[in-house]
Structure 1
Amino acid sequence: MAAGTALCLAISFALDLPIPVIAPVFAVFLLATQNRPLSLKAGAILGLVVMLTTGSGLLLVPLLRHYALAGVLLVGLLLFLAFHYGLRGGNNLVSTFLVAGLTMISAAGTADFQGAVTVVGALVKGLLLAVLVSVLSHGLFCEVASARAAPAARAMPADRAMIVALRAALVVMPAWLLAMTDPASYMPIIMKSVSLGRQSCTATARGAARELIGSTLFGGLLAIAFWFALRLAVNLWMFFLWMLLFGLVVGRRLYGISQTRYSPGFWLNSLVTMIILLGQSVQDSVAGKDVYTAFAVRIGLFLAVTLYACLMLLLFDRPGVASDQSG
């Protein structure tokens, strides 16, 4: 997982991909949730998802421009269906990619159709790179012969799945609406909200603060530590090696090699948050922007989105709501 993520990060920035953090984020999801390379069937399904996502995202752009309310409601419905698919036993990677593609493409297209085309290219290239690096990583670091395939996702009961999917869609919606005002600045917020929406499907109200807010803060601390470590020697090789080291440190806890009281979702979200924040800071530095001010604003927005996600968990997991679900 660490080697594949580091390789994706280095290649993305070396090739100057449009949104370079997409590939390493998808690589984290692929490698952390799969202990075997994607099968031909899974690869074909992901290819189909790419076509559906890009096509539907582009088709939503005229609707959002001319019939905004209907477009927003339709996007909300599609987000609900994407999360519901994953919760009812569908492939969580497919669900995550659908949510990311729908929100990012439609948000970019409302400001500039060419921007949506750029996001389409970034998503396709990022996913393709993540899949190729995933296959290479599994080839370099083969699983032991006794390793079993990851168990299939357990389907959540239908009534509970509807509530959780609605909650996850509501977590993503505000960040998507904010991004439509300025897609170039707020695209990282969409990626963070997608990660939170995915995480909210397994988190509970009791552990919301520790799971969601804690992982966001820890991801920010990791990004700060990574940034100052990278300043010791600014080159692509050190970028790769530091990412490899940080991936190993987080990976030990993600896979339970070093026992902690935090769930794997906490460490996964921390790593994703670090990659998004760090990648944007590197891009800000290249563009000549004030990196520290931009980082402070971005981490503030991340925390705001996270607090909102916690609020959704608290509202939907109230005793009254829980009793209604059990009834």
Structure 2
Amino acid sequence: MLTQLAAKFRRERMPLAARRSYRMAITLSLVLAAAYGLNIGIPFLAPLFVVILMAKPAPPPGPKQLFILLIAVAVSLGVGLLLGPLLQKSPVAALIIIVGGLYASNRLVIAQGKVAIGTLLALGLTVVSAASSISSALASMLIAALVMGIAVAVIGQWIVYPFFPEDNTMVKPEVPPPAQDVSWLSWRATLIVVPAFLITLINPAMYLPLTVKSILLGREASQLQLQDANRELIGSTFLGGLCAVLVWGCLSLSVSLWFYFAWVLVISIVLASGVYGVMKTKFKPTFWTATLTTMIILLGAAVQDSANGKDVYQAFFVRMLLFMAIAVYAALAMSLLEKWRNRRIKT
């Protein structure tokens, strides 16, 4: 009853875009606190899934949908577990399968809008297969972390959504790109991920954030025009790094989980307002979403470095250089591929 009254009050007094911004920021921060408080493996994945699931405004999945999603996740990640030994015995064949799988995962996102399933399939094919090629125990830990992360993300949505609901109107589904462009965009996104995956094979535990970032960059690139690529791909990565530095600097004033929650909440409200158009800028929602995901990944990796006794600032500097390098590569690859395609069309 209380949540219904609160929802009615917010529908009448708070604009829809503002509700969506608060909903994403509060859910993300709450899930982040829960992931670290429960000590689930790779805690930054849970708030990352919040952004992936909530980028398109809609009510959260119900219990039945969550169960189906978790089954699909376990199956898709299990594929990566099977590919690990093949990477050791027949790397060329394994790479061909992985590239084909990445293409299929990108088609799921671009043509059908299944962002969560497509992203998790890509993670299974890359991160889990790389980890499985070294240790089946490490791969199993990654699968458990991914499944737990998405479960915690959805439960966080269930808690927050009644306080910041959608209006009682149908959300228009996004129109997919023309059929002739779907294959091209899927291949383009795949080619952005492959170099980062090859680097991850060197040390899956160290380079996992790089692969996650490259998958998200590929998704972002599939929604951009060539003239926007440099500004969005490189700019969002740089701004995400600055936001991570800002949160880390504020966190040093008082190191505790609740301060971590509070600082991430403050920055997330600002970035989410860009995602949903509360803050009017020349940047598209994809720019602000990419900035938010970059901040989450870098902060999560920094917390892990601190827990393992590493030099956080040195590790952050190296990781940020790698993130900027993959963003520059993505923009350059996108430009060259588009020029090659246009030349082929003209001839």
Match status 1:224 vs 2:255: no
Match status 1:124 vs 2:144: no
Deviation at 1:59, TM superposition (A): 1.1
The one-letter code matched in structure 1 to 2:139 is A
Q: Please give the residue correspondences for 1:254-273 in structure 2 after superposition, counting only pairs within 5 Å.
A: 254-273=275-294
Deviation at 1:299, TM superposition (A): 0.2
1:107 corresponds in structure 2 to 130
1:159 corresponds in structure 2 to 180
Superposition RMSD on alpha carbons, in Å?
A: 1.7
Deviations 1:95-116 (A, max 9, x none): 1221122211111111211111
The question of whether the paired residues in 2 share the 8 Å contact of 1:89 and 1:153 is answered with no
Deviations 1:80-108 (A, max 9, x none): 01111222224222212211222111111
1:172 corresponds in structure 2 to 193
Deviation at 1:43, TM superposition (A): 2.8
The question of whether the paired residues in 1 share the 8 Å contact of 2:98 and 2:125 is answered with yes
Worse-superposed segment, 150-159 or 133-142 = 150-159
1:68 corresponds in structure 2 to 91
Deviation at 1:204, TM superposition (A): 2.0
Percent identical pairs in the alignment equals 37
Q: Please give the residue correspondences for 1:173-212 in structure 2 after superposition, counting only pairs within 5 Å.
A: 173-212=194-233
- 2:310 corresponds, among 273, 289, 302, to 289
Distance 2:43 2:324 in 1: 22
Residues 188 and 323 of structure 1: is their aligned pair in 2 closer, same or farther, counting only changes over 3 Å? same
Deviation at 1:182, TM superposition (A): 0.3
TM value normalised by structure 2: 0.89
Aligned to 1:181, the other structure's residue is in SS state coil
Distance 1:217 1:56 in 2: 33
1:20 corresponds in structure 2 to 43
The question of whether the paired residues in 1 share the 8 Å contact of 2:70 and 2:147 is answered with no
TM value normalised by structure 1: 0.94
Deviation at 1:229, TM superposition (A): 0.7
Distance 1:143 1:47 in 2: 25
1:321 corresponds in structure 2 to 341
Q: Which aligned segments of 4 or more residues in structure 1 are displaced greater than 6 angstroms?
A: none
The one-letter code matched in structure 2 to 1:65 is Q
Distance 2:57 2:279 in 1: 20
Distance 1:149 1:137 in 2: 20
Distance 1:292 1:44 in 2: 40
The question of whether the paired residues in 2 share the 8 Å contact of 1:111 and 1:181 is answered with no
- 2:324 corresponds, among 289, 292, 303, to 303
- 1:242 corresponds, among 247, 263, 267, to 263
Q: How many residues align?
A: 324
**Which residues of structure 1 form unaligned runs of 5+?**
none
- 1:59 corresponds, among 71, 78, 82, to 82
Deviation at 1:135, TM superposition (A): 1.6
The question of whether the paired residues in 2 share the 8 Å contact of 1:8 and 1:129 is answered with yes
Deviation at 1:209, TM superposition (A): 0.8
Match status 1:7 vs 2:27: no
Distance 2:72 2:220 in 1: 21
Deviation at 1:17, TM superposition (A): 1.6
Deviations 1:238-269 (A, max 9, x none): 11111111110111111111100001000000
The question of whether the paired residues in 1 share the 8 Å contact of 2:236 and 2:290 is answered with yes
The one-letter code matched in structure 1 to 2:341 is V
Deviation at 1:323, TM superposition (A): 6.1
Distance 2:326 2:46 in 1: 23
The question of whether the paired residues in 2 share the 8 Å contact of 1:30 and 1:134 is answered with no
The one-letter code matched in structure 2 to 1:139 is P
